[in-house]
Amino acid sequence: MEGEDRIRYGVINVGVNPTLKPGEFSLEVHILDFDEDIYGKKMYIELMEYLRKEEKFDSVEELIACIANDVAVWTKRSKELKNGSCIKIGEF
């Protein structure tokens, strides 16, 4: 994956992940239409828009449903923007 010159779109959580790992700070990226293992790869992340604040869910299923909604909202919104929030994976 490193060295690839592509732009990928996604939604990002920056915070303490109160549903799964309370108190542990993390930055997690959900890359749209992507299912490869890229752990250990370098990424350049450009944040373009804030969707919502972090919240604690009562179940993992509620969290997954909210992420699915975030993806739907962002997919629609990114089409409205000339340059959307993106993730470029490769050498920098």
pLDDT digit string (tens) for 18-58?
Answer: 988 878 888 888 888 888 888 888 888 888 888 889 999 99
According to DSSP, the β-strands at 6-15 and 86-89 are: antiparallel
Of 50, 71, 64, 53, nearest to 20 (Cα)? 64
Residue 65: the pLDDT is: 96
User: Strand, coil or helix: what is 70?
Assistant: helix
Residue 1 lies in a domain: no
Residue 63 lies in a domain: yes
Residue 45 lies in a domain: yes
92 pLDDT higher than 50: no
pLDDT 10s digits, 60-74:
999 999 999 999 988
What is this structure's pTM? Answer: 0.69
Beta-ladder partners of 10: 31
83 pLDDT higher than 60: no
Residue 73: the pLDDT is: 87
Domain around 30: 6-89
State the DSSP H helix or E strand holding residue 30, giving kind and residue range, or none if neither.
strand 26-31
Residue 28: the pLDDT is: 86
Catalytic residues: 28
Question: To which residue do tokens 């790869």 refer?
Answer: 41
Number of domains making up the chain: 1
Residue 76: the pLDDT is: 82
Phi-psi region of 36 (alpha: psi -120 to 50; beta: other; left: phi over 0): beta
Of 78, 73, 8, nearest to 36 (Cα)? 8
